[in-house]
Amino acid sequence: MNPIDALFQRLRSQQRKAFIPFFTAGDPDLETTAKLAHEVARHGASLIEIGFPYSDPIADGAVIQASYTRALNKGLTIDQIFALVRQLVQQGPFKGGEVPLAGMVSYSLVHHRGPDNFLAQAAEAGLSGVIVPDLPIEEAAELARLATARDVKLIQLVTPTTPRDRATRIARMSTGFLYCVSVVGITGERQELPAELLDQLCWLRTQTDLPLCVGFGVSKPEHVRMLKPAVDGVIVGSAIVRRWEQIGTKPIDAIVREIGDHVELLSNALAE
């Protein structure tokens, strides 16, 4: 069984929810990315979403874009990210898929390498799933077929403005879980999440048996508590990535510990 499927099956049997942190591979460097992965796993991460830096992201806000730029300016390559994943899945909670790894990657990177080649390398490295936010459902069938053949989950996104007939199509093609965008716009921390999000999640429950995980704008324990009754997991990115902006004023190891503490705070709110 794919580790993402196994994770949600286990969590559902325990009546628990998934906490999914996101961070950028190679920011500030790959050694620190590996250290951060172990830190967040120790502090409550159920699954980790690793961003593949890309020069022109479609859905990421200023914080994550800046993180991508920092990594790319150091010459980070896709092969180095696969090597990082390969290293991680040989260690600790990542070995055997207890804490699965998924990649957030632009379709431009997939297309440039060749979809089947990219997925073959992703599977060999140890990624359990990929999220391709800029791939429209009308063009996703072939990548979905190739991903299924490699036992890599193709996790797709539904937004608040997605028409319901289209959302149903996306849910039917998605595997692993359905990524539910909480707000209109790009990633980034928000003061509040829209109340109508809960209505959309309730409706999605009638359309799919896939786990529903909410991201974009989730950053506070209050957000997590609001979402907990309606979701199978929460995804937190910008609130984590923003902390790398403190490099130069704080030691890197102190920032890693600070991120671990923040992850524990949010994952504890999810477990209350």
Q: Answer yes or no: is 177 within a domain.
A: yes
Q: Answer yes or no: is 7 within a domain.
A: no
Say which residues have a Cβ less than 8 Å from residue 99's Cβ, sequence separation at least 6: 41, 45, 46, 47, 48, 93
Amino acid identity of residue 174, one-letter, is S
The CA distance from 120 to 114, in Å, is 10
Q: Answer yes or no: is 3 within a domain.
A: no
What is the pLDDT, as a whole number, of residue 216?
A: 80
What is the pLDDT, as a whole number, of residue 65?
A: 83
Q: Answer yes or no: is 144 within a domain.
A: yes
Query: Tens digit of pLDDT for each residue in 56-71?
Result: 756 556 788 889 999 9
What is the pLDDT, as a whole number, of residue 62?
A: 76
The CA distance from 100 to 77, in Å, is 22
Query: Tens digit of pLDDT for each residue in 170-227?
Result: 999 999 999 998 764 434 344 455 667 888 898 999 999 999 999 887 888 888 888 8
Query: Tens digit of pLDDT for each residue in 78-133?
Result: 999 999 999 999 999 999 899 999 999 999 999 999 999 999 999 999 999 999 99
Contact between 40 and 241 under an 8 Å Cβ cutoff? The reply is no
Residues spanned by the domain of 122: 18-271
Cis peptide before 160 (omega within 30 of 0): no
Q: Answer yes or no: is 240 within a domain.
A: yes
Give the total number of structural domains in the chain. 1
Query: Tens digit of pLDDT for each residue in 245-266?
Result: 888 899 999 999 999 999 999 9
Q: Answer yes or no: is 66 within a domain.
A: yes
The CA distance from 62 to 55, in Å, is 12
Local structure of 185: helix, strand or coil: coil
Cα pseudo-dihedral 208, 169, 52, 226, rounded to 10? -40
Annotated catalytic residues are: 49, 60
The CA distance from 4 to 30, in Å, is 24
What is the pLDDT, as a whole number, of residue 189?
A: 40
Tokens 């923040």 appear where? Answer: 262
List phi, psi (to 5°) of 18.
-90, 135
> Closest Cα partner for 122 from 90, 178, 113?
113
Output the domain CATH number for residue 137.
Answer: 3.20.20.70
For residue 74, is pLDDT > 90? yes
C-alpha 178 chain-centroid distance: 11
Contacts 24+ apart (CB under 8 A), 82-86: 82/121, 82/122, 82/124, 82/125, 83/30, 83/125, 84/25, 84/30, 84/33, 84/34, 84/50, 85/50, 85/122, 85/125, 85/126, 85/127, 86/124, 86/125, 86/126
Q: Answer yes or no: is 9 within a domain.
A: no
The CA distance from 214 to 230, in Å, is 10
Query: Tens digit of pLDDT for each residue in 40-55?
Result: 999 999 999 999 998 8
Q: Answer yes or no: is 8 within a domain.
A: no
Residue 228: Cβ-neighbour burial (10 angstroms; 0-12, 13-18, 19+): middle
What is the pLDDT, as a whole number, of residue 227?
A: 87
What is the pLDDT, as a whole number, of residue 60?
A: 53
The CA distance from 120 to 162, in Å, is 31
For residue 162, is pLDDT > 60? yes
What is the pLDDT, as a whole number, of residue 96?
A: 87
Is pTM beyond 0.95? Reply is no
Query: Tens digit of pLDDT for each residue in 2-45?
Result: 999 999 999 999 999 999 999 999 999 999 999 999 999 999 99
